[in-house]
Amino acid sequence: MGERVKTDMIGRRRFLVRTGCLLLGGPAAAATGRTDAMRETGWQTETGARDMTLFLCGDVMTGRGIDQALPHPAGPTLHEPYVTSARDYVALAERASGRIPRPLAFDYVWGDALAEWARVRPDVRIVNLETAVTTRDDWQRDKGIHYRMHPANVPCLTAASIDCCVLANNHVLDWGYAGLAETLATLRGTGMQTAGAGRDTAEAAAPAVLPVAGKGRVLVWAFGMTSSGIPPAWAARAGQPGVNLLADPSAATLRKIAAQVKAAKRTGDVAVASIHWGENWGYAVPDEHRAFAHGLVDQCGIDVVHGHSSHHPIGIEIYRGRPILYGCGDFINDYEGIGGHEAYRGDLSLMYFARVEPASGRLRRLSMIPLQMRRFRLNRAAAADVRWLRASLDRECRRFGCQVEAGPQGSLDVHG
């Protein structure tokens, strides 16, 4: 504990003296004489009261094993090459980490994330929901993995006060078009907004509009790419449900997105492009992904690029004052006890908090809270795991001109 406190204090001194830094206030904050304790009670106590704080994360996979541990599980039958019952994933997790208290309370899986949300108080919470929410049995025969959560378990999502579920991913249609329709109806019935999937092209391409009282709006466009495993046939078309699948990361695609953003974005809006792209494992960021992300900022007016599909966090870039999260890693999954890819530490998750100035769209702070999935619950990561994550992310972020340093209360802060 003493080592962590010492590291946090050194990190704070560094960013308080940096000019043009993207963290807490810079020299002006130091001049006010406010204490660290005041700053750490919540970001709303900082300068820039009209700034917006966005919570972002990677894949939220509450289907399969997690669904079986919740109060109202869907049918357990799976159509996977080696696993035929979703209950087997519960057994694997228990074998690895100990008994899971079933049935789970609806807020159980979020664990220590709940306290972090209460502390930071983000204005909006955006997740990539990588599961169908349905009782339908029309499983997709050409896919080997199918995620499904029973609609009666949707309080698992509302317990976390999720504002927007991004659905442009490779699991939302696992249980067919009827399953997608039930997913959309169930989520929207709770008041949560969706982006990236719909009953036709227009609905799938439409942004989620998240009003923030006294500050403005956050607009979320969601896109998918086949590189993440989305079948081309899942693309929404005129009169056909599906996901907002991009044909390619080309200049023509950027022009199309630019027209959509221009038609919807108003002065003071914060625009988010949430993209499901790339491989599950590995740190490499394809050159075409980086060029496309830059184009979203330069040509389309996007303020935050929210990438996902990787099962572990990968590099971050601050480009022209805008954060590009190339891959946020899984946030919640049922992989506990499954061997393979241990070197990537897929058991570790990150909460991303981006503080943005709406008037300019520029990032003021990007901070991450490391967590670890154990017994289907998010727990604060141990000090050694935080150090490992910091070193790994710092190595990858330096490729893009950024650094990751230890921040207050066990956080990791990104300098651009």
Q: Residue 49: what pLDDT?
A: 76
Whether residue 203 contacts residue 236, with contact meaning beta carbons closer than 8 Å, is answered with yes
Model-level pTM? 0.89
Range of the domain at 214: 2-62+107-415
User: Which residue from 241, 248, 246, 126 is spatially nearest to 185, judged by alpha carbons?
Assistant: 241
Residue 89 domain flag = no
Strand, coil or helix: 59: strand
Strand, coil or helix: 196: coil
Distance, first Cα to last Cα, the chain:
28
Give the integer Cα–Cα distance in Å for 55 and 162: 9
Structural domain count, the chain: 1
Q: Residue 48: what pLDDT?
A: 67
User: Which residue from 311, 302, 321, 384 is spatially nearest to 350, judged by alpha carbons?
Assistant: 311
Whether residue 111 contacts residue 378, with contact meaning beta carbons closer than 8 Å, is answered with yes
Give the integer Cα–Cα distance in Å for 331 and 171: 15
Residue 78 domain flag = no
Strand bridging mode 242-243 / 197-198 = antiparallel
Going by the DSSP 8-state scheme, the letter that residue 235 receives in this structure is B
Cis peptide before 101 (omega within 30 of 0): no
Query: Along the chain (416 residues), what's the average pLDDT of each consecutive run of 10 residues?
Result: 34 31 31 33 56 97 98 97 96 97 97 97 98 96 95 98 98 98 98 98 98 96 97 96 96 98 97 97 97 98 98 98 98 96 96 97 98 98 97 98 94 94
Residue 67 domain flag = no
Whether residue 416 contacts residue 24, with contact meaning beta carbons closer than 8 Å, is answered with no
Whether residue 103 contacts residue 110, with contact meaning beta carbons closer than 8 Å, is answered with no
Residue 91 domain flag = no
Q: Residue 36: what pLDDT?
A: 36
Give the integer Cα–Cα distance in Å for 52 and 124: 8
Whether residue 397 contacts residue 317, with contact meaning beta carbons closer than 8 Å, is answered with yes
Q: Residue 409: what pLDDT?
A: 84
Strand, coil or helix: 208: strand
The vertex-389 CA angle with 347 and 22, nearest 5°, equals 125
Residue 100 domain flag = no
Residue 356 domain flag = yes
Residue 71 domain flag = no
Residue 69 domain flag = no
CA dihedral over 298, 302, 307, 313, signed as positive or negative: positive
Strand order, beta sheet including 322-325: 208-212, 216-224, 270-276, 304-308, 322-325, 316-319
Tell me the residue length of the chain. 416
**CATH number of the domain bearing residue 13:** 3.60.21.10
Whether residue 152 contacts residue 72, with contact meaning beta carbons closer than 8 Å, is answered with yes
